[in-house]
Amino acid sequence: MHLKYSFFILCAAFMVGCNESAVTEESPEGTQPYTALRSVAPFPVGVAVQSGRLGAAVHSGVVRTVFNSVTAEYEMKMQHLTDASGNFIWSPADALIAFAKEHDMQIHGHTLVWHQSTPAWLANFGGTDAEFEDAVRDYITTVVTRYKEDVVSWDVINEAFEDGTGALRNSVFRRRMGPDYIARLFQYTRAADPDVLLFYNDYGTIWDAAKRDSMFAMVDDLQSRGIPIDGIGLQMHITHTFPALQNIVEVMDAMVQRGLKIHISEMDVRVNPEGDLLVLTDARSQLQKKRVSEIAAAFMDLPEEYRFAITWWGLRDPESWLIDFWGNPEWGLLFNAEYQPKPAYEGFLEALTGRG
């Protein structure tokens, strides 16, 4: 690592590490002065975290100073809370929760059931379908009970519908518990914690009409049957040009009409979807700022009781899942590699404070 750069990181880590107060109006010491989002936002502003990254003082310093909500990027998923045999591995999730509690941060649970995070002990379950469902219910009950005093909300299930068709994904949960399994997942979670907020979380429900229609049909069905659901996670993995703001607003309005809290749950804004950039240009950075500002302003326009939180899916550009997933250089988050806020951060602040 370049000597100057490592010296900067060392200073920043030292200064931030010395910054004892959990929340300050100013930036962590040793970095450019900027206002902490958590000090001005009228709703929780979150970030996806990994326990390993929080070990770096400058990383954890920025996280705890700037944000007041956390989501485990992967360590509270089935595949990481249990080993291949179904034994629980609590320590990484416990560490994340301890960090959040120490710094007065809300904790959003992500996610109880996700077809992409199905552990071997369930994928290869040898018992009957009834025993499979008992195992799923016991898993939910164990996890939700353990974190009952700490986790305010859970993504009960993530990404249950197919892209393009809106059909229920043919997951092991769908196959072994039947087409009404989602309803029972919500019931089991509510039974484990009468107070926790229950969310359905997905991507693409702004531009994929079939998936959106299936999601709302599910919500309408659950609500008609008195089965609890409190909110929807709009993941908001978008680009600097797509989807149109109007489409985002229309979908959020449809959620408000159903009395659903809205969590922009995994926000990042790709600025290089065509792969035409090798470095982040100021022009593209300004477009990202405008995009962030307009979406945050639309969220601010929602009635207060429906604004659950806005959560960013990572802290710094180089740490984003986007880079490996799309295979292009990407700068989708609020902070650059040097932990400095980007113009997108200023755009977010402007919307939160009405200065935009």
Q: Least CB distance from residue 248 to ligand G3I, whole Å?
A: 17
d(CA 272, CA 57): 30
Nearer to ligand G3I, 27 or 158 (CB): 158
- Which is the catalytic residue, given 73, 133, 159, 346? 159
- 159 part of the active site: yes
Residue 160's Cβ-count burial label (10 Å; 0-12, 13-18, 19+) is buried
Closest CB 147 distance from ligand G3I, rounded Å: 17
Between CA 33 and CA 282 the distance in angstroms is: 20
Find the shortest distance in angstroms from Cβ 301 to ligand G3I. Answer: 25
Contacts of 236 (CB under 8 A, 6+ apart): 264, 265, 266, 267, 268, 295
CA dihedral (29, 42, 236, 246) positive or negative: negative
Q: Shortest distance, CB of residue 50 to ligand G3I, whole angstroms?
A: 6
Residue of closest CB approach to ligand G3I: 321
Cis peptide preceding 111, ω within 30 of 0? yes
Nearest residue to 268 (alpha-carbon basis) of 294, 226, 240: 240
Decide whether 74 or 207 has the Cβ nearer to ligand G3I: 74
C-alpha closest to that of 62 among 233, 229, 312, 308 = 312
Interaction site with ligand G3I (CB under 6 A): 50, 73-74, 77, 117, 158, 203, 235, 266, 321
Residue of 75, 133, 266, 330 marked active site: 266
DSSP-assigned beta bridge partners for residue 270:
239
Alpha-carbon dihedral angle through residues 119, 121, 123, 128, given to the nearest 10 degrees: -150
Q: Contact, 231 vs 263, CB < 8 A? A: yes
Cα–Cα dist 5/179, whole Å:
54
C-beta of 86: minimal distance to ligand G3I in Å?
Answer: 17
Task: Please name the residue ranges forming H helices in 117-208.
Answer: 120-123, 129-146, 172-177, 181-192
Between 14 and 321, name the residue whose CB sits nearer to ligand G3I. Answer: 321
Question: Of 160 and 227, which has the nearer Cβ to ligand G3I?
Answer: 160
In the residue annotation, 266 being an active-site residue is answered as yes
Minimum CB distance to ligand G3I, residue 120 (Å): 13
Q: Which of 118, 141, 133, 225 is nearest to 188 (CA)?
A: 141
Cα-to-chain-centroid distance, residue 118: 19
Task: Report H helices in the chain.
Answer: 3-18, 57-66, 78-81, 91-102, 120-123, 129-146, 172-177, 181-192, 209-224, 245-257, 282-300, 321-326, 343-353
The distance of closest approach from Cβ of residue 283 to ligand G3I in the complex, given in angstroms and rounded to an integer, is: 27
Active-site positions? 159, 266
